[in-house]
Amino acid sequence: MKAIVVTSFGGPEVMKYTDFDIPAISEDQVLIRVVATSVNFADIKSRYGKKGNKALPFIPGIDATGIVERVGSHVKNIHPGQRVIAFPQNGSYAEYVVANENLTFVLPHEVDFQAAAACPIVSFTSYNLLANVARIQKGESVLIHAAAGGIGTTAIQLAKLLGARTVIGTIGSETKRKIALEPV
C-alpha cells in the first residue's frame, strides 16, 4: 500500500509518499480501505515533534473514513463491506488503516466520505467542551473563540443544537468573519 510518512520533524517537506505493507489486524480490530482522511492541527503538531511521543518514521493522521476490508475474530458489530469512520491506531494518511472495533463507527449512506472525514476530532472536541466542560444549559449564551476554525464552526452549530440562546464568536480577520457568519 502507499502511505505518507513523516521521516524527520519539520514542515511539509519531511513527509514522503512511500510503500508500506498492509497492516495486520488482531482479534478485536478491523482493516479499513481509506477513502478520505483529514488534516488536523494535532497532525501538524506531531509532524513538528510537539505532540505525543511519536518515534520516527511515522504515518500521521488520527481519523479516517472508508470501507471495511477485514475484521478480527472477536469483532461483533462491524462487518466487511460497511462504510465506516474510525480512529486508527497508527496513522490515517495511508491506503489501509487498522482500528479497534470500539473506535470504528458505521457511516450512514447519506453522509459522504469526505464530509465525514472532516468531522470526528472537531466534533468530539467541540461537544466535549460544550457539554462536559462548560455544561451549557438551554437558554444560555455561549462565547466561541476562533469561531471560523474547524472547532469553532462546529462548536457554533453544536451550541445551537444544545439549546444556546445566543452564540457569540470571535475571529481574527474580515475573511474569517465571513466564514463564521455563513449559514450551515
Q: Are residues 108 and 129 in the same domain?
A: no
Q: Are residues 126 and 98 in the same domain?
A: no
- The set of residues, in sequence order, having a beta carbon less than 8 Å from that of 11 and lying 6+ positions away, is 47, 48
The CATH code of the domain that includes 41 is 3.90.180.10
pLDDT in tens, 148-184: 888 898 899 999 999 999 999 999 888 888 777 776 5
pTM score above 0.75: yes
Q: Are residues 145 and 60 in the same domain?
A: no
Under 8 Å between Cβ of 20 and 66: no
The CATH code of the domain that includes 154 is 3.40.50.720
pLDDT above 70: percentage of residues in the chain: 99
Measured distance CA(11)–CA(6) in Å, rounded: 10
Q: Are residues 135 and 100 in the same domain?
A: no
Q: Are residues 129 and 95 in the same domain?
A: no
Q: Are residues 169 and 151 in the same domain?
A: yes
Domain residues for 164? Answer: 120-181
